[in-house]
Amino acid sequence: MEADPPGPRRQVAHRRLKVLITGAAGFIGMHVASILLARGEQVVGIDNLNAYYDPALKLARLARLQAQPGFRFSMLAVEDAAALAALFEREKPRRVIHLAAQVGVRHSIVDPQSFSQSNLQGFVNMLECCRHHEVEHLVYASSSSVYGANSRLPYSEEQIADHPVSLYAATKRANELMAHSYSQLFGLPTTGARLFTVYGPWGRPDMAIFRFTRSILEGQPIDLYNEGRMVRDFTFIDDVTDALVRLLDKPATASPRFDRAYPDPVESDAPYRVFNVGGGHPVPLLELVDTLESALGRPAQRRLLPMQPGDVLATAARCTRLLEWIGPSHATSVRDGIPRFVDWYLTHYAGARAA
């Protein structure tokens, strides 16, 4: 995305914010922390380094952050209310980017308790800490999955998001509602970002592009659910992190157009906002595979499978409200983003090209 005008950015950097990032060793967390550190902020990162996927990748991301001045890390789970409160008391962050969560639509079906503990109890703990320590702004990751059974595309924030098709989606929608209650009751500025299928260097191994790349290089078949007849609004990591940082720089405010007789689902007369953060250019899954094959220089063995529980056929983001709030932006195309991911993969996993 395009940079902010120089005036506001210089003012924020000069102030040297202390920002807490939860899930700092995660895919998005590492990238957001790197941007903030590069512009001179102090960053406190926390992560529980769980084994949902290979912790070695999380440790490698963390090592990149620990090599930069201004970064401190604590191994901590957001579900641990006492430890989280102690950290807030010690560090006194001014702003928070909350990315820590148990992820995985299908995983939420087989392990619902982990989602309840991390995504619900952990989020309550975060809200309580922000309230009691007078945090200026809480930005948190929601998900495009909140749109659930809604089939009207592109998704816009005005649409009702009350029909989740997975527990993961339900927890993310619950986070939005919980945030509003704290914005209303305590004046805590909160901004939710409904993220759409984020990919790129240092990405999560459970995500499709990562899994497809590994399987193609290993000569293994890739699983295409609904026989590949799916569409996703793939969003490159640089575009997502730029949006999150720019949202952090502009704390949520009450909407002057909010009408309690006809309430807007994602605005309020409290300091509360929710925005779609997506590429805005949905891509058929089979086209994505074609692009990946071209970048890798290898064909994929395609295994066509039926639709999986918790999945949706298509996602597409309308980001008009986001652009009105943070200004003009750039969306990286899959044609440009996929080769950048492949280059990172082949470099990070030495020998993958010859495997």
Query: If you average pLDDT over residues 204-220, what whole number do you get?
Result: 95
Whether the per-residue pLDDT at 214 is higher than 60: the answer is yes
Distance, in Å, from the CA atom of 351 to the CA atom of 210, rounded to the nearest integer, reads 16
- Asked if 311 and 231 touch (Cβ cutoff 8 Å), the reply is no
Supply the DSSP string of 52-108, one letter for each residue. Answer: SS-HHHHHHHHHHHHTSTTEEEEE--TT-HHHHHHHHHHH--SEEEE------TTHH
Distance, in Å, from the CA atom of 148 to the CA atom of 159, rounded to the nearest integer, reads 11
Whether the per-residue pLDDT at 178 is higher than 90: the answer is yes
Residue with tokens 């990238």, as numbered in its chain: 31
Residue 16's pLDDT band (cuts 50, 70, 90): confident
Summarised one tens digit per residue, pLDDT across range 253-304 is: 999 999 999 999 999 999 999 999 999 889 999 999 999 999 999 999 999 9
Summarised one tens digit per residue, pLDDT across range 71-80 is: 999 999 999 9
Distance, in Å, from the CA atom of 208 to the CA atom of 235, rounded to the nearest integer, reads 13
Domains in the chain, ordered, with CATH?
6-196+237-278+318-331 (3.40.50.720)
Strand, helix or coil for residue 242: helix
pTM: 0.92
Neighbours of 42 (CB within 10 A): 18
To the nearest 10 degrees (0 to 180), the angle between helices 285-296 and 208-218 is 50
Strand, helix or coil for residue 139: strand
Residue 353's pLDDT band (cuts 50, 70, 90): low
Write down the catalytic residue from 155, 168, 199, 345: 168
H or E segment to which residue 45 belongs = strand 42-47
345 as an active site residue: the answer is: no
- Asked if 140 and 192 touch (Cβ cutoff 8 Å), the reply is yes
For 177, the token pair is: 């509602």
Distance, in Å, from the CA atom of 110 to the CA atom of 309, rounded to the nearest integer, reads 11
Distance, in Å, from the CA atom of 118 to the CA atom of 120, rounded to the nearest integer, reads 6
Distance, in Å, from the CA atom of 189 to the CA atom of 168, rounded to the nearest integer, reads 24
- Asked if 237 and 210 touch (Cβ cutoff 8 Å), the reply is no
Summarised one tens digit per residue, pLDDT across range 125-160 is: 999 999 999 999 999 999 999 999 898 999 999 999
β partners of residue 155: 317
How many Cα atoms within 13 Å fall on the side-chain side of residue 263?
12
Residue with tokens 């395609």, as numbered in its chain: 302
